[in-house]
Amino acid sequence: MLNGFKTFIMKGNVVDLAVAVVLGTAFGAVVRALVDSVFMPLISALVGSPNFDDFAKVTINGNDILFGVLLTAVVNFLLVAAAIYFVVVLPMNKMIERRNRRLGNVEQEPAVDPQIELLTEIRDSLAARP
């Protein structure tokens, strides 16, 4: 039983996943700090409050419906997504593009499967018959 567990844990996928979770957690802290310390104060300077929780509040039968909380969550999500895109994705794509240009890697069309090509020819020849 322990040998099976050891084999499972030592597989590359599990170790890669563990590393990804740890790095994702650490990177999440960096992105959260960027959003909380840079972006939200900028929004606060423009709008007057970094928090929209009280922006749209409706009371029905003594129950508060807080649309502003949803708005705050959506704004936070968009800020985090923008931070990840501009800090990670865009530079990574540019780096990969430069590397491919330097190495001369050009995306090539995938080779057509000979069986598909033969079936296409048969279909075309049958369609051409009267």
Residue-range domain boundaries for the chain: 2-107
- Name the β-bridge partners of 58: 65
**So what's the architecture of 2-107 in CATH?**
Orthogonal Bundle (1.10)
Sign of CA dihedral 77, 83, 89, 94: positive
What integer best gives the mean pLDDT of the chain?
A: 81
Q: Is the confidence at residue 21, as pLDDT, over 80?
A: yes
Q: In this predicted structure, what is the pLDDT of residue 105?
A: 65
First to last CA, the chain: 69
Determine how many CB atoms are found less than 10 A away from the CB of residue 10: 9
Q: In this predicted structure, what is the pLDDT of residue 107?
A: 60
- Rounded Cα–Cα distance for residues 60 and 67 (Å): 13
Q: In this predicted structure, what is the pLDDT of residue 114?
A: 84
Q: Is the confidence at residue 12, as pLDDT, over 80?
A: no
- Rounded Cα–Cα distance for residues 57 and 69 (Å): 9
Q: In this predicted structure, what is the pLDDT of residue 33?
A: 87
Instruction: Report the range out of 55-59, 85-89, 101-105 with the highest average pLDDT.
Output: 85-89
Sequence-distant (6+) residues with CB within 8 A of 27 are 88
When pLDDT is cut at 50, 70 and 90, the band that residue 106 belongs to is low
- Name the β-bridge partners of 59: 64
Q: In this predicted structure, what is the pLDDT of residue 76?
A: 80
* DSSP track, 10-47: TSHHHHHHHHHHHHHHHHHHHHHHHIIIIIHHHHHHHH
Query: Smallest Cα–Cα separation from 84: which of 36, 17, 30?
Result: 30
